[in-house]
Structure 1
Amino acid sequence: MKSGFVNIFGKPNAGKSTLMNALVGEKLAIVSPKVQTTRHRIRAFLNGPGYQIIFSDTPGIIEPEYKLHERMMHAVKTSLEDADLALLIVDAKQAPDSADEVFAGLKLKVPAIVVINKAEMVKREALEKTVQFFLERPYCNEAVTVSALKRTGLDKLIDTILKYLPEGEAFFAEDDITDMPQRFFVAEIIREKIYDLFDEEIPYQTAVQVTEFKEKSTLIKITAEIIVQRESQKAILLGQGGQSIKELGTTARKEIEAFLDSKVFLELFVKVRPKWRDNDLHLKEFGYV
């Protein structure tokens, strides 16, 4: 039996969350074309014949601008400390130099596989040059090309991961796919829909907190608060006559019902908490610990 922790690192929008979802076959990490979507460290388990891989998706590596960013980068730091293997994700469309600088700065103490993602978007010659570039780097043990979106190259990646995992018993039950609670995923789904429906600063200055999660005989009643920094942002989220919050609630509810496999009654409220991203008490209250 092989069992170990495989933690995923990379710059924003390299496709870390899409890759983890594709590897485990479940949508556990939210995705968006917008950068800095992932704020928490999210674990997902892949069980196969003779192995259990515990993947951790981490926030994209950035220079912190406020305390929320500092909490996000702390999640990256703790992931560095407990990894058996690192997956370093690169966007194949981008020049490798900036990713190389980030990866070298991680000062890894475990083996690393560079995963060149979005391989379907570049020509083979360019892909081969990127592979060779990373194979020459001291932190890179192997380089694998994949398309997380198209789900190609994943079997080869899993085989490569297994070469580096230690032998040992499974850490989690075979039927488990994550150690995160349902409330967390509900809040993340709502936040994902905010990224989908709103532009500019709204997604980045918004947090979601589930305040009620009650399983009744015919449905699950969920109440969530959407936290913003300014009254003007609250007005945008509500929309004229409440149309925007209604659209957000409808789209989020449908995905939450699919995720929970249950009918859901969803209530959303918008609250203003000025400068919450730089307030330690608010960050702790909203789950950024």
Structure 2
Amino acid sequence: MSVRPSSDDQAHRAGFACFVGRPNAGKSTLTNALVGTKVAITSGRPQTTRHTVRGIVHRPDAQLVLVDTPGLHKPRTLLGERLNDLVRSTWGEVDVIGFCLPADQKLGPGDRYIAKELAEAKRTPKVAIVTKTDLVDSKTLAEQLIAIDRLGAELGIEWAQIVPVSAVSGKQVGLLADLLAPLLPEGPALYPDGDLTDEPEQVMVAELIREAALEGVRDELPHSIAVVVEEMLPREGRPADRPLLDIHANLYIERPSQKGIIIGPKGARLKEVGTKSRRHIEALLGTPVFLDLHVKVAKDWQRDPKQLRKLGF
């Protein structure tokens, strides 16, 4: 005689959801809002995310593992091509795709391009997520919802849901999780309770430094900043109740002329980058940190396969 599992066991679901969309559509901010803490870096500049960051949402009925990918875009460099390949490969490995479309911007060629690509992933359920709803009035939001519904009908995409959210205010973020959970396969949790991401600490530390470096830079500095954490070691000789973690990291830019922008007058900007990122790093790791930052030139690294490998891409 077989023993039937309890209804709770039957109901529990676990799986992967992928957020896609053009650059700066709010994917990373939404990931952080759902997880409840910073696991993906955010920036007002497009193409901020370069690593696939997994944020883990724990619920009594489900475990939702969020895969945050770079924005799909028309590539102009070898790095751009590799990031697009990363997005497409991720689509084939997840249980549900969330297509993020900002409420404050009308649908454009970039959205249509992504939607056409999504239409080819026929077996994967797709949820249209209207982000940044706090920036628009109800009339504009309604027009955007109608436009997204029409886009799906035109391209043969049957949206499992169309959900308006604001990651900044938290409005309907919980509802989005409620709607994504039933689209996951039944099964036990994939990660231990309490885990919020499976990203290595060094990768997350590097991303937090890069986020701080991207803030406030002038327009002449393109997205040519890469960060490599060379070393993370506890300071020797410290008492157990006063630990200190030494972190040595290099910020790489493409041209010598960009070095002054990152460092700033008398090193003021680099010091500000260190102060901002250290605060987030200490919150992430739960320990005091000494952060040693250096700026180095890796000429045209976005176009050089050897440099890309060295910098982890």
Deviation at 1:94, TM superposition (A): 1.0
The letter for the 1-side match of 2:22 is K
**Paired AA for residue 253 in structure 1:** R
1:43 matched residue in structure 2: 54
> What residue number does 1:191 align with?
210
Shift of 1:97: 4.2
Q: What residue is the counterpart of 1:229 in the other structure?
A: 254
User: Match of 1:259?
Assistant: 284
Q: How many residues are paired up? A: 288
TM alignment of 1:157-176, pairs within 5 A:
157-176=176-195
- Aligned to 2:215, what secondary structure does the other structure show? helix
1:273 aligns with 2:287: no
- Which is further off, 52-61 or 101-110? 101-110
Moved more, 129-138 or 31-40: 129-138
Distance in 2 (CA, whole Å) between partners of 1:35 and 1:157 is 24
Task: Give the conservation status (yes or no) of the 8 Å contact 1:197–1:248.
Answer: no
1:141 aligns with 2:148: no
CA contact (8 A) 1:47 1:174 kept: yes
Q: Is the 8 A contact 1:9 1:88 kept in 2?
A: yes
Matching residue's letter, 2:145: V
The match for 1:70 among 64, 81, 87 is: 81
Any runs of at least 4 consecutive aligned residues in structure 1 with deviations exceeding 3 A, and if so which? none
Give the residue type in structure 2 aligned to 1:129: E
The DSSP-based 3-state class of the residue aligned with 2:299 is coil
Is the CA contact (8 Å cut-off) linking 1:219 and 1:262 kept in structure 2? yes
Q: Out of 122-131 and 220-229, give the one that drifted further.
A: 122-131
Displacement of 1:201 after TM fit? 4.3
Instruction: Name 2:270's counterpart in structure 1.
Output: 245
Does structure 2 conserve the Cα–Cα contact (< 8 Å) formed by 1:194 and 1:203? no
Question: Matched residue of 1:212: which SS?
Answer: strand
Cα distance per residue 1:246-280 (max 9 Å; x no partner)? 22222222221222121111111111111111111
- Deviation per residue, 1:132-176 (Å, 9 max, x gap): 332341322210111111110112211111221111122111121
Letter of the 1:100 counterpart = R
Counterpart CA distance in 1 for 2:136 and 2:184 is 31
Q: Deviations over 1:80-113 (max 9, x none)?
A: 1101100000000111243233212232230100
Which residue is 1:94 aligned to?
105
For residue 117 of structure 2, what is the aligned residue in structure 1? 105
Q: Secondary structure at the match of 1:128?
A: helix
* 1:16 aligned residue: 27
CA distance in 1, matches of 2:222, 2:203: 17
Question: Compared with structure 1, are the counterparts of its residues 105 and 205 closer, same or farther at alpha carbon in structure 2 (3 Å cutoff)?
Answer: same
| Structure 1 stretch displaced more, 85-94 or 196-205 | 196-205
Letter in 1 for 2:148: F
Distance in 2, matches of 1:197 and 1:118, equals 21
Per-residue CA deviations over 1:164-191 (Å, capped at 9, x if unaligned) read 1111122111121111111111111110
Q: 1:132 is matched with which residue?
A: 146
The reply on whether 1:122 has 2:141 as its aligned counterpart is no
Partners of 2:227 and 2:117 in 1: CA distance = 32
| Residue segments in structure 1 that go unaligned for 5+ positions in a row | none
Distance in 2 between residues matched to 1:263 and 1:37, nearest whole Å = 27
Partners of 2:149 and 2:270 lie apart in 1 by 49
Partner of 1:34: 45
Across the aligned residues of Structure 1 and Structure 2, the Cα RMSD in angstroms comes to 1.5
Structure 2 segments unaligned to the other structure (5+ residues): 1-11
Q: Counterparts of 1:72 and 1:188 in 2: how far apart (Å)? A: 16
Give the aligned partner of residue 4 of structure 2: none
Which position in structure 1 is the counterpart of 2:9?
none
